[in-house]
Amino acid sequence: MAELTGWLLDVYAGEQGLTIWLLTDNGERRCLSQTFPVTFFAASQAVRQGLDKLDLPAHGSTSDLRAAWRWLSSQSEPLRLARAERRDLFAGPIPVLSIEVQQPAHLPGLFRRFSAAFPNLTFYDADLPISLRYGAVFGVFPLCRCCVEVQGNQVKTILALDSPWDLDPEYPPLRLLALEPDCNPSHAVPKGIIFSYKDIRYRMPLEPVRALLANLKSILRTYDPDMLLTSWGDTWLLPKLLELSQANPLPLNRDPSALITRKEQRTYYAYGQVIYRGAQVHLAGRWHIDKYNAVMYHDYGLDGIFELARVTGLPVQTVARVSPGTGISSMQIMTALRQGVLVPWRKQQAEAPKNLFELVRADMGGLVYQPTIGLHSNVAEVDFVSMYPSIMSHFNISPETILPGENDPQTGLPLTRPERGLVPTTLQPLLQKRIAIKSQLLCLPKWDPHRKRYQATASAYKWLLVTCFGYLGYKNARFGRIESHEAVTAYGRETLLRAKEAAEDLGFEVLHLYVDGMWIKKPASATPADFQPLLNEILTRTGLPIALDGVYRWVAFLPSRLDARIPVANRYFGVFQSGEIKVRGIELRRRDTPDFIRETQQQMLAILAKAPDAEHVPNLLPEVQALVHRRLADLKRGRVPPEKLIVRQTLSRELDAYRSPSPAALAARQLADRAAPLRPGQVVRFLYTLGKPGVRAWDLPGEMDCRTIDVARYSTLLERAAETIFQPFMSEPVETKLPLFSGLYMPNKTPLLQEQAAVSWISGMA
C-alpha cells in the first residue's frame, strides 16, 4: 500500500471500473483505476403517482417491474438486482427496482436497451455524469487536493483535503500547450499551425503533412502537456489533425486505451437568442479546451472554468463547454445524491391547474417601471444582492417546498413547507462564497494578483446563480416546477415594492425600479452615508441584503426612440461620484455597433464625465459637439480605418431560410462559396458599401476598395448615436407637437432642464 498526495485531474469510465488521473506533489501524472459499481432505479409509474391504490388498469404497473427483472437477469452485463425503497423528491419514499451495474462503462448501452424495452417505467439516476456519482460517494471533485491510498495502480481509498468553498484553493502546476491555426478557419483556409509552450512559440506549415505530424508527435512526447488550449480546436484544428493522422495516429490522448470523444455541432434558441455551439473533441488523460467554443471564455477564462469544475463537480473539459444551466443542475444532482433523493431521468412535474384569475395573478415577471425621463443629479442606485437566489434561500423556495394554490391570506404570497428544500440547500454555499469574494474584492488593492481570479470566480458564480432561477421553471429541468418559479417572482415584486415604500416613507423620490434595483434621490442627500439609513430600513422590511451600487453625480434616463413621451426601462447613462461611467441600452452597449461609433459615444461621455455636477454638464456640450463634427469629418474624408467600421451581426437562421435577407445574411452569402458555410448563431463581419448588395463581408479575400464604403450610412449611424447622448440636454422632444399641447404637456421635465438654455446641435451639424 502506498499513499499519494496531489490533485485530482479527471475521472471517467475506463475498460475496468473507473480511470482516475492524479497529478502528484512530486510532479508525476499517475493513471489509476478503481472498481466502482453504479446503480440506477426503475419504478412503476402507478406507484409514483399514488395510483396503485385506486386499482386502475395496468399501465407501468408492478407486473411490468417483474417483467423488467426477468429481462435484466437475461442480459450479458454483470448486474445485481434488488428491491429497495428510495425517496422521490415529490412523492416521498417509493418502492423501486435497484439495478447495480458492475462496470460503469456498461450503463449507457444497457440503459438504452432497457428503456426502449420498458417505456412505461419511470427511471431514476440513469444518466448521471460519472464524476458526480464519484464525487457524491467520496466527497472529491475535479482539481481538489486529495490523498489516495493505492495498491499497485488500484485506488483503495481517496480523501479530499480541501473544499470547493475554499476562497484560495491551491491549484496544480499544469503544463499548458497552446495550438492555433494562423487564421480563423471559417473565414479562410489556414496555411499553418502556431504552437506555444511557456516562452517557446513557432509556426509549422500544414504542408508537407508528414513533417507536420512528426513535429507534433515529438512536441506532444517532449512536453507531455496536461492541457491543449486551442483556438478553433473543436471545430477545425483537432478534427483536421485526426483526419491527417488516420494512418499514423498522433498521441493526442494521454490514455492510449481510451477513445477520443467527438460531439456534433448544434444551434439552439435560449433567452431570446440563437446560439451556436460548435462540434466538440474531448481527450482522455489530458484536457482539450477550445477558447472559441468554451462558454463565456471571454468573461471568466481558465480561472472561471477551473472554479466551475470544482463547485459543479463536472469534468474540466465538460464544464468548459456547457451552459451555466447545466452547471447548476449538476450541483442540484449532487445535493440529491448526497441526500439520497432519486434523480429523475426525465422531468415529470406538470403544472397544477389554475383558473383564469389565478393565472393572471401568477404569470408575471419582475417589476419593471418606466423611469422618470430626463437628467437628474445626486441619484443613488441601490441593488438587492443576487436577489432571486437570495429569495430562494431566504424563503426556502424549491420545487418540492411549494404548496400549489396556497397563499398567505394577508400578503397573497405563496406558502412553503418548513423543511429545507433541495434548491436552497444547493444555493446557500454558492451565495455565501460569492458574497465573501465580493467583499474581498472591495478590500484588495488594484495591483493584487488575486483580483483576477476572484473576479473570474465572482463572474462564473453570477451565471450559476442567474440560471438557477430560470431552471426552476424550465420545461426540461429535472428539479423544476413552474409554481416555484412564479413564487420567486412574486416574492421579488413584493420585495421591490416594500423597498419602494421604505424609500418613500423616508422622503426619497423613486425615479426608477428595475427587477432588483432602485434609483432614488432626495434633496441634500449626496453622500453614501446619506443613504445608509434607507438601506438598513429596507433590510429590516424585506429581510434581504441590499447594497448601494453608487451615487451618480448625474444620470439621464432616455425616452423611446420612436416617441419621446414614452420612457424606456433600462436605457440610461450617468456618471458616478467616483468618475466611473455607467451606460445601459444605448448604441455603445450593442454588439453590432462598429468600433468607430462606439468609440465616439465613449469619448462624448468621457467629456461629459468631467463635469463635477449636473449644473456644469451643459458647459461641456460645445466640446462634445466639436468632437462629433471632427469625427464626422474624419469619416467623410476617409480618415477612419475600415476595420473600425466593421459591423458584427449574428445570423438568426439558415441562409436559405431568409425571405428578405438581412445585411448579415447577404454578407454570409458572399462567404458561403469559400469556407464552411456559417450556421445560425455564428457571427458574420461586414461593412456597408455603395451599390448592390450594399454590404461586403470583411473576411472576403482580396483588397477592399475604401472608396466603396457607404459613408452616408455610417454618418447616419453616427448622428443617431450622437443624438442619443444629446437628447437629455435638448429643450424640446425631437418631434414637435401642435401648439395647443406643446405648452401644456411636458411630461416629467426636471426643473433643471427647463432653466437651461436649449442646445440646438442638429442645426449646427448639418
Partner 1 sequence: MGRTLPSSTQNFLQEQASFARFRRALRRSDQVALDDLFASARQHLAAAAYAANALPFETFLLAMLLEEHKQVMRLRQLVEADLHITPGDG
The residues of the shown chain that bind partner 1, judged by CB under 8 A, are 271-272, 356-357, 359-361, 363-365, 367-370, 470, 493, 497, 513, 563, 565-567, 737-738, 740-741, 744-745, 747
Partners of 709 in the β-ladder: 689
Looking at residue 486, what DSSP letter applies? H
Q: Which is nearer to partner 1, 356 or 757 (CB)?
A: 356
Q: Which is nearer to partner 1, 551 or 556 (CB)?
A: 556
3-state secondary structure of 647: strand
Instruction: For residues 637 and 281, give the distance between their C-alpha atoms in angstroms, rounded to a whole number.
Output: 48
Closest distance to partner 1 from the beta carbon of 390 (Å) = 21
Q: Which is nearer to partner 1, 373 or 709 (CB)?
A: 373
Closest distance to partner 1 from the beta carbon of 374 (Å) = 13
3-state secondary structure of 292: coil
Of 731, 733, 667, 739, which Cα lies nearest the Cα of 697?
667
Closest distance to partner 1 from the beta carbon of 385 (Å) = 22
Closest distance to partner 1 from the beta carbon of 369 (Å) = 4
Closest distance to partner 1 from the beta carbon of 302 (Å) = 31
Q: Which is nearer to partner 1, 272 or 702 (CB)?
A: 272
Of 224, 237, 222, 216, which Cα lies nearest the Cα of 289?
237
Q: Which is nearer to partner 1, 420 or 493 (CB)?
A: 493
Q: Which is nearer to partner 1, 23 or 513 (CB)?
A: 513
Q: Which is nearer to partner 1, 566 or 758 (CB)?
A: 566
Instruction: For residues 582 and 589, give the distance between their C-alpha atoms in angstroms, rounded to a whole number.
Output: 11
Q: Which is nearer to partner 1, 465 or 551 (CB)?
A: 465
Closest distance to partner 1 from the beta carbon of 267 (Å) = 18
Closest distance to partner 1 from the beta carbon of 738 (Å) = 5
Q: Where are the alpha helices (DSSP H) in 83-237?
A: 107-117, 130-138, 209-223
Partners of 685 in the β-ladder: 648
Q: How far is the CA of 1 from the CAs of 8, 28, 138, 405, in angstroms?
A: 19, 18, 19, 59
Q: How, if at all, do strands 79-88 and 18-24 pair?
A: unpaired
What is the DSSP track for 610-632? T-SSGGGHHHHHHHHHHHHHHHH
What is the DSSP track for 343-375? -BSS---PPPP--HHHHHHHS----BPPP--EE
3-state secondary structure of 197: strand
Give Dmax (Cα) for the chain.
Answer: 94
Cell of 613: 455636477
Closest distance to partner 1 from the beta carbon of 745 (Å) = 6
Closest distance to partner 1 from the beta carbon of 485 (Å) = 10
Q: Which is nearer to partner 1, 218 or 560 (CB)?
A: 560
Instruction: For residues 650 and 655, give the distance between their C-alpha atoms in angstroms, rounded to a whole number.
Output: 12
Instruction: For residues 592 and 651, give the distance between their C-alpha atoms in angstroms, rounded to a whole number.
Output: 12
Q: Which is nearer to partner 1, 369 or 658 (CB)?
A: 369
38 in Cβ contact with 100 (< 8 Å): yes
Cell of 517: 434595483
Angle between helices 324-339 and 297-312 (to 10 degrees): 10
Q: Which is nearer to partner 1, 154 or 560 (CB)?
A: 560
Q: Where are the alpha helices (DSSP H) in 276-355?
A: 297-312, 316-319, 324-339
Closest distance to partner 1 from the beta carbon of 364 (Å) = 6
Please return the burial class of 495, using the count of CB atoms within 10 Å of its CB with bins 0-12, 13-18 and 19+: buried
Closest distance to partner 1 from the beta carbon of 569 (Å) = 8
